[in-house]
Structure 1
Amino acid sequence: MTEASTSTIKRYRPYFHPAEVERLSAKQRGKLSVSREERARQQACALLDAVGMRCGFPRRTIATAQTLYLRFHLFFPYADFHYVEVALTTLYVASKLHDTLKKPRDIILASYALRFPHLVRKGGAGGGHVDMTAVDTQMLEHERRRVLNIERLVLETMCFAFGVAVPFPLVVKFGKKIGLAKDTVQAGWRVAVDAHRTPAPLSYPPHAIALGSLYASALLSSGTTKPHEGKVDDAECKRVISLLGSEGAWEKDYSVSVGDVDEVAHAILDLYITILSTPANDPSLQIFSPSPVSPREQAPSPGINPPAAAPTTNTAFKLPRLWTVQSLTELKIHLRERRPGAVPSWDEFEDDGADADAEGMGRNDMTVRFVWDGPA
């Protein structure tokens, strides 16, 4: 066998065109419908948020883990991995990237408090923590090894490029530069948190996510489904919508196009539509699924109700009462009518090598060289 046939080169691509994300996702979702795939994403992102908070990770670590999870499934099928194992692995990798390191064992135990709440001690000095005497150590060790095995695959998807950035400091910086009040900036910051539950960070850099989050928060705080028609009462929201929703010199100042900001806002609106349109009792809205392999426990009997799971509908940005699936859809239509040149669908977009980038991931029978510079 020749050297050429046993080696390949993977060039790091920090971002993919939205059409490429759609194409790669379609290949990995298998028999899942688009809506079921989206619900699976939200289930994983909610778990990452909850476990990250229990671990005491800063928001930058949790957000990076959510983006790494979405990126992972551009290259690896949903059917081949359990979402809990991938989610815990991306949280472990993100903790390394942001120098907020915790051991895989500690992250897994933090997830036990959510996946198996009956293991949590009630009251006393150890209240709120997992009772280690009730944990199956063999299962814990098995999950730890799975996290370490999947870690290599996660690193491959990012070509071992360890430089990461998040939009949160930029939301504050841009808000101050535009002259926004603290409450307005805080609303934009919360929307930026929710933005990492969408594929937008796979396609747009942090400064575009930051501006798109400020724009989306202003739209959602405007109190109308047609904010560009002068029906906004809040003067500050009106100013943000007018600025970031129209072409101008600000695009050069912030090195971003109004189209990119608009697409980030659409991704965020799609997230809220998905969450509002999912029934509260849908299994995908549970942080965990009742498991027959709970530590030292048998599968729950048919007549026994499993522990209540926390819903994933708690977004960082609290939607005003105005917003329903219908009103959010009307807002999206209003924005599309203003800018009809939408991002092309995957079958209209010329392949730029994203499919080739997915080849060879996770294989042990060939040499893969990862490079970070662009093609010569």
Structure 2
Amino acid sequence: MPFSYVIKMGRALGASKKLTKLAWRLAIDSHRTFIPIEYPPHTVALGSIYVAAILGSFEQPEGEERQENLKLAGSLGQRGDWEQQFQAHLEDLEAIAHVMVDLLIQRAQTTANTSPATPSSPSPHPSPRNAYLSSIQSNPTNPFNTDQLIRLKIAMRESDHDPRPRESWQDPDSASAVGREVIGRNEGTVRFLFEPPGFAGRS
């Protein structure tokens, strides 16, 4: 799971608590996609921090917070020592970012097309569950509108790097092909047979 990596990497990168919190939520949302299947947890965590920094700096009001997010997004948006430090690749972060922004666009469109629910009469004894639901409704999880996210998507495409080549079992020149060639072979292996005490033996 990428969640512990989000906190550790956020501290290492000097990210604010607000940005780390957003990255944590994005890491949770990533499980609504194929991202956790395609990338290791530490890459998902770093990708979530990258997306959080982009969202926190793109078309946001000027201020110290925006400048910090912009600096972090710019650092992770280009090659640097962080790739070796966190064992991640720039191209993977960009791919994760596109999937996450697509998910946010889908959510924003769904929210815009859904009519608000009819409010119910307040109960004199609200249950904890109702209090929790009301807190969710008063604090929407997606503060970004569709147009803004689409503009962000276009801006990301303009600065994208070429995708990182993936090794394939079908490519005879890849390192993975070496393992494919020896699958099923027993030459050169040593097998030991352990028998329990008192075993009569083999004829």
Q: Which bracket does the TM-score occupy, shorter chain normalised? A: 0.5 to 0.7
Please report how far the alpha carbon of residue 182 of structure 1 lies from its aligned counterpart in structure 2 after TM superposition.
2.1
TM-score (norm 2): 0.63
1:319 corresponds, among 133, 142, 150, to 142
* % identical aligned pairs: 33
Instruction: Give 2:34's aligned residue.
Output: 199
Instruction: Give 2:174's aligned residue.
Output: none
Amino acid of the structure 1 residue aligned with 2:106: T
Amino acid of the structure 1 residue aligned with 2:56: S
SS at structure 2 position matched to 1:318? coil
C-alpha distance in 2 between matches for 1:191 and 1:209: 9
C-alpha distance in 1 between matches for 2:90 and 2:161: 13
Instruction: Give 1:260's aligned residue.
Output: 92
Change (3 A) 1:280 1:205: same
2:67 corresponds, among 232, 235, 240, to 235
Amino acid of the structure 2 residue aligned with 1:325: T
Q: Which runs of 5+ in 2 are unaligned?
A: 116-132, 171-178, 183-203
Task: Tell whether the 8 Å contact from 2:108 to 2:142 is kept in structure 1 after alignment.
Answer: no
SS at structure 2 position matched to 1:319? coil
Instruction: Give 1:337's aligned residue.
Output: 158
Change (3 A) 1:241 1:350: closer
Residues 1:328 and 2:162 aligned together: no
Residues 1:280 and 2:79 aligned together: no
Instruction: Give 2:121's aligned residue.
Output: none
Task: Tell whether the 8 Å contact from 2:6 to 2:20 is kept in structure 1 after alignment.
Answer: yes
Instruction: Give 1:179's aligned residue.
Output: 14
Change (3 A) 1:197 1:232: farther
Please report how far the alpha carbon of residue 350 of structure 1 lies from its aligned counterpart in structure 2 after TM superposition.
9.5
Give the number of the structure with larger relative contact order, counting CA–CA contacts within 8 Å between residues 6 or more apart. 1
C-alpha distance in 2 between matches for 1:203 and 1:342: 14
Change (3 A) 1:343 1:326: farther
C-alpha distance in 1 between matches for 2:34 and 2:48: 14
5 Å matches for 1:35-184? Answer: 166-184=1-19
Task: Tell whether the 8 Å contact from 1:191 to 1:317 is kept in structure 2 after alignment.
Answer: no
Which has more radius of gyration? 2
The count of corresponding residues between Structure 1 and Structure 2 is: 150
C-alpha distance in 2 between matches for 1:274 and 1:343: 26
Please report how far the alpha carbon of residue 212 of structure 1 lies from its aligned counterpart in structure 2 after TM superposition.
0.6
Instruction: Give 1:39's aligned residue.
Output: none
Please report how far the alpha carbon of residue 222 of structure 1 lies from its aligned counterpart in structure 2 after TM superposition.
1.5
C-alpha distance in 2 between matches for 1:187 and 1:325: 18
TM-score (norm 1): 0.36
The CA deviation string for residues 228-265 of structure 1, in whole angstroms up to 9 with x for no partner, is: xx999623212210111111111011111111011111
Task: Tell whether the 8 Å contact from 1:170 to 1:207 is kept in structure 2 after alignment.
Answer: yes
Q: Which runs of 5+ in 1 are unaligned?
A: 1-165, 282-309, 354-373
Please report how far the alpha carbon of residue 268 of structure 1 lies from its aligned counterpart in structure 2 after TM superposition.
0.6
C-alpha distance in 2 between matches for 1:198 and 1:317: 20
SS at structure 2 position matched to 1:196? helix
